[in-house]
A and B are shown apart, each in its own frame.
Chain A
Amino acid sequence: MNNHITLTTIIIREVLRFSRIWLQTLLPPMVVTSLYFIIFGNLIGPCIGQMDGFSYNEFIMPGLVMMAVITNSYSNVVSSFYSSKFHRNIEEMLVSPMPNYIILLGYTLGGVARGLMVGVLVTVVALFFTDLKIEHPWITITIVFLTAMLFSLGGFINALFAKSFDDISIVPTFVLTPLTYLGGVFYSIDMLSSFWRQVSLANPILYMVNGFRYGILGASDIDIATAIGLILVMVVATFGVALLLMERGVGIRS
């Protein structure tokens, strides 16, 4: 059994899937990001002035990229895997000899592929509004890859438990979006009172946005080693939980 072939098969299938429906998957984040730059960056930004020593456009750019990566990684896996359950074509994989960890890894890397592709496209859009100079390329790549992986895994777990299409929109709407908006995309937590700054530190997305911002701008509200360490631990833990759920047949075997 060649697991490399099975893994590649799932990844290629996932990439073809989201590429085929690019109007739903790749174009909307570019449009939304353009609007953020026009409204927040160009119209409201000049009134705000500098933040952490950068223009407002420069400051929000890493957060906007990260926001697109997070939502797209998550939604790619949650919708693709749940659709496979709904149409029962998940059975194609379950009857095959491929181990569960390959199925999990395949969907996760499919989500990472979409997250990264959207990240690149949104960055291209951002170049129309701000200059880009990446201060720490490897940190930038590490943070964006791990974050895409984490939210792909989150989408996978959501899809395992989901019993209807409503169930796959609850977490993105009521958990992911608020945490992202409160994760320091549009502001520095130094602007907050001590109490709210402490509350913000419990938001994992803050570490990802700031870690990514450090990679691009060289400035962050959070210690970069802490950010990478935390994301890494969360990726490992989430992978472990997702695999355990699969082995127990949760949501996939009766």
Chain B
Amino acid sequence: MTRALSIRNLKKVYRNGFQALKGIDLEVEQGDFLALLGPNGAGKSTTIGIINSLVSKTAGSVEVFGMDIEQQPAQAKSCIGLVPQEFNFNIFEPVEEIIINQAGYYGIPRREACERAGIVLKRLGLWEKRRGSARELSGGMKRRLMIARALVHQPKLLILDEPTAGVDIEIRRSMWEFLTEINRIGTTIILTTHYLEEAESLCDKVAIINNGQIVEHGLVSELIGKLDMETFIFNIRERLDETPLLDGYTVRLIDNHTLEVEISRQRSINALFERLSALGIHVLSMRNKTNRLEELFLQRVNQGSKK
């Protein structure tokens, strides 16, 4: 089956000499829900810009559903829907017109464009606002407007660049549900986000980009399995005045009732509970210090920084 996205040896050097991409390779299969993660300035937005023809590449190739973005730009672009990081619509235009115009840019006749605009606006809860200008929308509604706009031509590949940035938790969760649903019915999704909890719960695959290079790429479950260490926070019933001695574990006393323990994934947590019980310490609750993807992300990014 043709891949949804195939990037080979992609390089980008900006006019000021900054090398944003140092030859990245990335394959995205049809139906994937991929998280593209990386710190600020790692090259995520440049990559997305090149895929969408907003940024010129210096070298390498990009194919969308087997179509090269330079050889068959119209066909390749027809397959992509983009939700950019920053609001990029005319705030003075009525909401409905923004969607209808976007459909028109993809060659969809006006009558059909109006019908499709109605469908996506209703689906994203913007139908009541369709006549008002886009500047009257709240931040969350503006984000949803960009998603509606990206979907009006029914793309096979949806690329979202930090779609939930600055959005409250309720709207974020409704966006998650919506994205999960369109992925389930066959839309391939690439998502960049700084919320790693979001990436872990939504995406089946992850690619981590750092300093213009892909440093990790694979199934979320497999990559998390590569983690050497995990850090847990324990709430303790008894008051502790000094850090208990637990050989083989790195332990830190956060406060009199909270312990932080770093555990190798080779070791069983049961053994730790036994040791704690032996010391007369009773655990009331426990949680991961960070989510697991966050831990992996920090490891890979920090490794890259030390090189």
Contacts and interface: CB of A to CB of B under 8 A. Distances in A.
B104 A5 contact: yes
Interface stretch (B33-41, B78-86, B177-185, B294-302): B78-86
A21 B84 CA distance: 28
Contacts of B227: none
Nearest to B86: A88
B97 A6 contact: no
Contacts of B106: 6, 96-98
B interface: dominant SS: loop
12 contacts: A1-B107, A2-B107, A87-B91, A89-B89, A91-B54, A92-B89, A94-B54, A96-B77, A96-B105, A98-B106, A254-B54, A254-B55
Contacts, number: 87
Interface range, B side:
20 to 34
Nearest to A88: B88
A79 interface: no
Interface string B44-63: 00000100111110000000
A88 to B, nearest CB: 4
Interface stretch (A8-16, A170-178, A200-208): A8-16
B68 to A, nearest CB: 14
B101 A9 contact: yes
Contact of A89 (B55, B73, B88, B108): B88
B195 interface: no
Nearest to B12: A254
A94 B53 contact: yes
Nearest to A102: B105
B109 interface: yes
B54 A95 contact: yes
Contact of B88 (A1, A5, A87, A249): A87
Given A10-B105, A97-B75, 20 more contacts: A1-B78, A6-B105, A6-B106, A9-B101, A9-B104, A16-B97, A83-B90, A88-B84, A88-B86, A89-B89, A89-B90, A91-B54, A91-B82, A92-B101, A92-B102, A92-B105, A92-B149, A96-B77, A99-B74, A249-B56
